[in-house]
Structure 1
Amino acid sequence: MFTPVILAGGNGVRLWPLSRRARPKQFLSLEDDRSLLARTLSRLDGLAVAPPIVICHEAHRFLAAEQLRRAGVEGATLLLEPEGRGTAPAIALAALLADREGHEGPLLVLPSDHHLGDEGAFRDALECAARLAEGGRIVTFGVVPTRAETGFGYLQSGEPLCGGFEVVRFVEKPDAATAEAFLAAGDHYWNSGIFMLRPADALAALASHAPAILVACRQALAGAATDLDFLRPVEAAFLACPANSFDVAVMEHTDRAAMVPLDAGWSDIGSWQALWEVLPRDGDGNALRGDVACEASRGLLVHAESRLVATLGVADLVIVETRDAVLVADRARSQALRGLVDRLEAGGRPETRQTPTVIRPWGHYETVDAGERHQVKHITVKPGARLSRQLHHHRAEHWIVVSGTARVTLDDETFLVGENESTFIPVGRVHCLENPGRAPLELIEVQSGSYLGEDDIVRLEDRYGRE
């Protein structure tokens, strides 16, 4: 039995405007109705695995928890990082936790945002990797290359090892000529970032090659606090940890590195071009999702989220429409999107940070309209969920129930508001909203006042531990 370690960090840049800082790509449904995180978890179905360890950023904890719930995953540990420090600290935390809980079997470290076209081939590779890991090897998975790719790191295989190979060396992203030579040589593979290793071997390798990371993570986990379904390492200790990847910190130095070839249609979906390559396409090479009409167009990736997108006589473009932003880009240049997003972020554009739909532990809301002194939101509250007991200093709120029944507390009074009914929350009054029913509660909230920011929420009591 092995323990899955799901790496669910990310900064939400490479697939903007669908991905944002508040909702990186692993939480998006890009290939079907399941998110990339849910698809990653589904690859473990039917395997003898322990409950997973999922590592994500503090800001994404409720997104991750909700997707685990929807995927039917029980008993998972959600390890929260106050700040991303790279894969080496993340794997160190997971190995320390597994060792503390007595798990001697291998850890399977999986990034949560990858595509695998042939999951049967992936499972075959897992069996080979498990044998090597049980023998004390630190195993990575080398993707059989299909082209001379300059956007990936490579690893070179050496002597055969029980279905795998020793790793001769790791190579950073090469130039075009070097990538062509690697492809022709036949002994170089793309570095997938997937690992299998026993906790004890991970800790021994970190102690030898990255002791500062191990010491900081040990201190961070020793004082970790349990909060609802989350495990929070000590923030100061974790932030003192050096940032590094597991490849650079350990794999480039250890003499225990092994590689298993992976020929399973792998992609890291690291750009719109990469997503276009794995999506189904029509006879003109167009990958279309949403309300899209294409005329005399070819080689497009078009994603329409909230309205009709029509094209005429264009080729090889990415066109992504969301409720608050539209991207039109040369598909071949989508790897350069980071620079554009960085400039937008430097200019203070909120479209780089937050999505139009904002996820909360009690449900979600969408901003329908906003002006200088008003804001309109469509709010959905999950069955049995309750918002915090709170007040606002600068705004009043009108709530109109569209579907379901709301239980409203206003100061010391509690009452029900049914469909097509409304209530008013004056400025400065303590209030709480709850869904006592078995179906989602939907309402329209109209805010008015001199300041409408989310930081004008004074939480007096909150079942989700937010301040």
Structure 2
Amino acid sequence: MTERIVSFVMSGGVGSRLWPLSREDNPKQFHDLSGDGSMLAKTLRRLTARPEGETPIFLIAAERHADRVHADLAGLELAGGGPLFEPTGRNTAAAVALATLRTLSEFGDSLVLVVPSDHEISTPRQFWQSVEAGTEAARSGRLVVFGIKPTQPETGYGYIEVAAESGGTFDVSRFVEKPDIETAQSYLKAGNFYWNTGIFLFRAVAMRDAFIAFQPDIWLATEAAYRAATSDLSGLYMPLELYAAIPSNSIDYAIMERAKDIAMVPAGFRWNDLGSWQSLLDVGPADDRGNVIIGDVVAIDCENSYIRSDGRLLSAIGMKDIAIVSTSDATFVAPVSHSQHVKKIVEQLEKSGRLETRFTPAHDRVIESGA
């Protein structure tokens, strides 16, 4: 019998690397970036596509996005799952602790799969084949991560260094944060580094024990918020004062960089985290000159550029390797090779108290939701 896998989608991110399109009130997981539905809806559909086995599907999302979440959940069979709403963001360690608590309380020591909501994975069958390949290691009590063999020296991803391999599963030596270009080139040449997809598989008790060993404050605070939660047909809601008390940390820093005997399964699916305008240029429908053109755009003599208008006419001449993204209240222009640095713009705007990083103009939201 195929083992139950309780699946959780983390949907609390802001996606500031895709500003000005992605903002606090309208982050990238709710955008249709490739023409076949929002990133969140596609992630949920991928999880429902497991060929066999019980797969309850839960969603961990910001309470302020509840209406958007319910719209994307419409018509999907979650097999007993549903949304868990965070009253405020506390990073991915809290989300994983919440997923573990929910699983233990409802399904016992089951396998847990945690995935981001905003990654492009275009091969659901291969996705589930890769997940199933990690179940034996997870069942034995190991925390399992999934890595992508690098195809170029990418500075926008975290890396996983691996050592010994057994039966298609590698031992993890260490996790490495986003490198500079020279370091990324050395990783590519070394051959034993993989991109970190941020997808995790584990037994609920194994993750609980890791939190108690390495981050008891996060575990206890999350448990207190979860125990005080209220539920109705729309989802589970936790008290703000208790959830806000959870220390904010990423699951990589809090647990994965500290735990021992972590296993990595090489992912057999096509993957892109769509975390930059460069990545959207890489996966978008390009014309014969390598441009991805979206919206009301006139482009002449442009090459290998991502040019997007979400409103008025945008015209460009002679652009090469450039990202131009225009909304009704902001425009971003940069070489696509520098598009990872858009967060610097966002940080400067936030320091100035500008609202363009947080709010999408109301008429833009209406246009998108009606598309």
1:147 alignment partner in structure 2: 152
> Which of 99, 117, 133 is the equivalent residue of 1:94?
99
Letter in 2 for 1:60: H
Q: Hey, what's the Cα distance between the residues in 1 that align with 2:357 and 2:155?
A: 27
Counterpart of 1:21 in structure 2: which amino acid?
Answer: E
| CA-based RMSD | 2.2
Cross-structure match for 1:14: 17
Farther-moved stretch of structure 1 (99-108 vs 2-11): 99-108
TM-score by length of 2: 0.91
In 2, Cα distance between equivalents of 1:49 and 1:272: 37
Write out per-residue CA displacement over residues 53-110 of structure 1, whole angstroms, 9 at most, x where no aligned residue. Answer: 2111222122112111155657432112222222111110111011101243311110
Alignment of 1:99-248 (within 5 A): 99-248=104-253
> SS of the residue aligned with 1:314?
coil
Partner of 1:77: 82
Q: Does 1:44 align with 2:17?
A: no
Q: Does structure 2 retain, via aligned residues, the 8 Å contact 1:136–1:256?
A: no
**Percent of counterpart pairs with the same letter?**
40
CA distance in 2, matches of 1:326, 1:180: 32
Q: 1:355 maps to what in 2?
A: 360
> Unpaired runs of 5+ in structure 2?
none
Q: Does 1:261 align with 2:257?
A: no
1:240-293 superposed Cα distances (whole Å, 9 cap, x missing partner): 222112122212222231000114332211111121111121110101122322
Q: Say whether the 8 Å CA contact 1:4–1:49 is kept in structure 2.
A: no
* Conserved 8 A contact 1:281-1:288: yes
1:25 alignment counterpart: 28
Q: Write out per-residue CA displacement over residues 129-155 of structure 1, whole angstroms, 9 at most, x where no aligned residue.
A: 122212222100011111122222211
- 1:10-49: CA deviations, max 9, x gaps? 1242111111110110111101140010111121233134
The SS at the match of 2:320 is coil
Secondary structure of the corresponding residue to residue 297 of structure 1: coil
CA contact (8 A) 2:277 2:339 kept: yes
Deviates more, 1:200-209 or 1:148-157: 148-157
Q: Are the aligned partners of 1:5 and 1:53 in contact in 2 as well (CA < 8 Å)?
A: yes
SS at match of 1:168: strand
> 2:261 is aligned with what amino acid?
R
Tell me, yes or no, if the aligned pair for 1:153 and 1:174 is still in contact at 8 Å. yes
Counterpart CA distance in 1 for 2:308 and 2:76 is 25
**1:447-458 map, 5 Å:** none
CA distance in 1, matches of 2:15, 2:156: 18
Residue range with higher mean Cα deviation, 280-289 or 114-123: 114-123
In 1, are the aligned partners of 2:15 and 2:275 still within 8 Å (CA)?
A: no
What code does the residue aligned with 2:26 have?
A: R
Matched, 1:327 2:293: no
Distance, in Å, in 1 between the alignment partners of 2:182 and 2:17 is 26
User: Does the CA contact (< 8 Å) of 1:345 and 1:352 recur in 2?
Assistant: yes
Greater relative contact order (Cα < 8 A, sep 6+) = 2
The match for 2:254 is: 249
Which amino acid in the other structure matches residue 13 of structure 1? S
Q: Which has the greater radius of gyration?
A: 1
The Cα offsets for residues 102-122 of structure 1, whole Å up to 9 and x where unpaired, read as 243311110001112444432
- 1:358, distance to aligned residue in structure 2 (A): 7.1
Q: Which moved more, 1:207-216 or 1:78-87?
A: 78-87
> 1:12 touches 1:19 (CA, 8 Å); kept in 2?
yes
1:219–1:234: 8 Å Cα contact kept in structure 2?
Answer: no
Q: Are 1:293 and 2:298 an aligned pair?
A: yes
Higher strand share: 1
Quote the residue 1:56 is aligned against.
Answer: 61
Provide Cα deviations, 1:143-175, integer angstroms capped at 9, x if missing partner: 111112222221111222332111111122233
**Kept after mapping to 1: 8 A contact 2:163/2:173:** yes
Superposed, which structure 2 residues align to 1:388-403 within 5 Å?
none
Helix, strand or coil at the partner of 2:135: helix
Q: What does the per-residue CA deviation read over 1:393-434, in whole Å, with 9 as the maximum and x for residues that have no partner?
A: xxxxxxxxxxxxxxxxxxxxxxxxxxxxxxxxxxxxxxxxxx
Rounded Cα–Cα distance in structure 2 between residues aligned with 1:261 and 1:280: 27
Give the letter aligned to residue 6 of structure 1: V
**Greater helix content:** 2
Question: Please, which moves more after superposition, 282-291 or 307-316?
Answer: 307-316
* TM-score for both structures, normalised by structure 1: 0.73
| SS in structure 2 at match of 1:145 | coil
Are the structure 2 counterparts of residues 107 and 354 from structure 1 closer, same or farther at C-alpha, using a change threshold of 3 Å?
A: same
